[in-house]
Amino acid sequence: MLNIGCHLSASKGYAHMAKEAISINANTFQFFTRNPRGGTAKDISEKDIEEFNKIVKENNFTKILAHAPYTINICSANEDTRKFGIDTMKDDLQRMEYTPNNLYNFHPGSHVNQGVEVGINLIIEALNDILKPEQTTTVLLETMAGKGSEIGRSFEEIKQIIDGVKLNEKLGVCLDTCHVYDAGYDIVNDLDGVLNKFDEVIGLDRLKAIHINDSKNPFSSHKDRHEKIGDGSIGLEAFVRIINHPKLKDLPFFLETPNELDGYANEIKILKENYKE
């Protein structure tokens, strides 16, 4: 079975997101843990969690994916900005324990003018502070397009972070198809080659989720603008190969395409029609 969902608004709580997912034939979803600009998170209601747990159990959901606010930067040169990001992630991970054993994705960060090495070391230092032995959540580093001074533009950078973190059994990777294509990994013409490279550098056992997005920009553009499935430079045929690849087909796929709920429903329908059990 294709495990697939899309990005949903968290404003009405967990049970509401689960119901929305079911309404579009999804068995998972992604959501922002709080306003993407940062700020305080909504209180978690025990009743909402109870209802959510019941729904996901009855409907055989796979792991859900929480996304950290994309404005935090745990490798900022500014200590206050760094601390804000670290505190936000610590708080998010505490809240994630209301829904244990799921996934939490974040953007590694932007080094701005500090250089990649300094940036990577700050990310390692931050993760060594954030991760706790008792947490049940797996924290995913997202592969980035390499726009500006983004870290995570190559598998080597991600691997370097993982290697530096003490509790790295808590770490995994979320591969974003738009980002890796924009970063110069040719998943259209050489999917096997890209996956072999991922395996060689990071290890495919670290790959825990896929962000499935088409790209508005050409290969290796380092841009990061998502497009609807089939309408961008990656194209539907490549996505059919991606969801059916033996090394990927059992992972959860999350759409972050420019869509409302009905557009997501349509993309899920098309992908399911093209999925070979």
Name the one residue in this structure whose structure tokens are 């530096």: 164
Task: Say which of 20, 48, 92, 176 is annotated catalytic.
Answer: 176
* 273, HSE (Cβ side, Cα atoms, 13 Å): 8
Q: Which is nearer to Fe ion, 27 or 215 (CB)?
A: 215
* Known active-site residue 222: no
H helices of 59-176, in order, are 79-96, 116-130, 155-164
Length of the chain in terms of residues written: 277
Residue 211 contact, options Zn ion, Fe ion, none, Cβ 5-8 Å cut-off depending on partner type: Fe ion
Give the separation between CA 56 and CA 102, rounded to whole angstroms: 12
Residue 224 touching Zn ion (CB under 5 A): yes
Residue 142 touching Zn ion (CB under 5 A): no
Residue 227 touching Zn ion (CB under 5 A): no
Q: Which is nearer to Fe ion, 95 or 211 (CB)?
A: 211
* Known active-site residue 107: yes
* Known active-site residue 179: yes
Q: Which residues contact 6 (CB under 8 A, 6 or more apart)?
A: 21, 24, 26, 29, 30, 254, 255, 256, 257, 259, 264, 267, 268
* Known active-site residue 150: no
Q: Which is nearer to Zn ion, 20 or 224 (CB)?
A: 224
For the chain, first and last CA: distance in Å? 6
What's the closest the beta carbon of residue 142 comes to Fe ion, in angstroms? Answer: 5
Residue 157 touching Zn ion (CB under 5 A): no
Q: Which is nearer to Fe ion, 20 or 142 (CB)?
A: 142
Catalytic residues: 37, 67, 70, 107, 142, 176, 179, 211, 224, 226, 256
